[in-house]
Amino acid sequence: DARVTQTPRDKVTEMGQEVTMRCQPILGHNTVFWYRQTMKQGLELLAYFRNRAPLDDSGMPKDRFSAEMPDATLATLKIQPSEPRDSAVYFCASGLVLGTSGRAYNEQFFGPGTRLTVL
């Protein structure tokens, strides 16, 4: 049963510390999305990658957030330094997009999320 996995599931840290969240997309998927979920803002798209290249990170605060895909099986989202307002659940999702037009081929599959609390 193919699933998106995320680690850690829960993270509590102090303001100013670096936080790294990891995601393993479903094997064979070429598109990875990072979302943030808060009660106030709901689900926000932070960034997404296709074939490991960043396509859009306009939803991400650039001064402290960074997202990378070191290889096809790992995506990372890093916050440095972390702030209390970063407290949220961070979801990774993966999907398969085919063709030069970027027409989506299948749904986005979500991981279980990382619940981040910054004190």
Residues binding other proteins (CB under 8 A): 4, 31, 33, 42-43, 45, 48, 50, 56, 91, 93, 95, 97, 101-104, 107-108, 110-113
Nearer to other proteins, 24 or 111 (CB): 111
Nearer to other proteins, 82 or 94 (CB): 94
**Shortest distance (Å) from residue 118 CB to other proteins:** 20
Q: Is 19 helix (H, G, I), strand (E, B) or coil?
A: strand
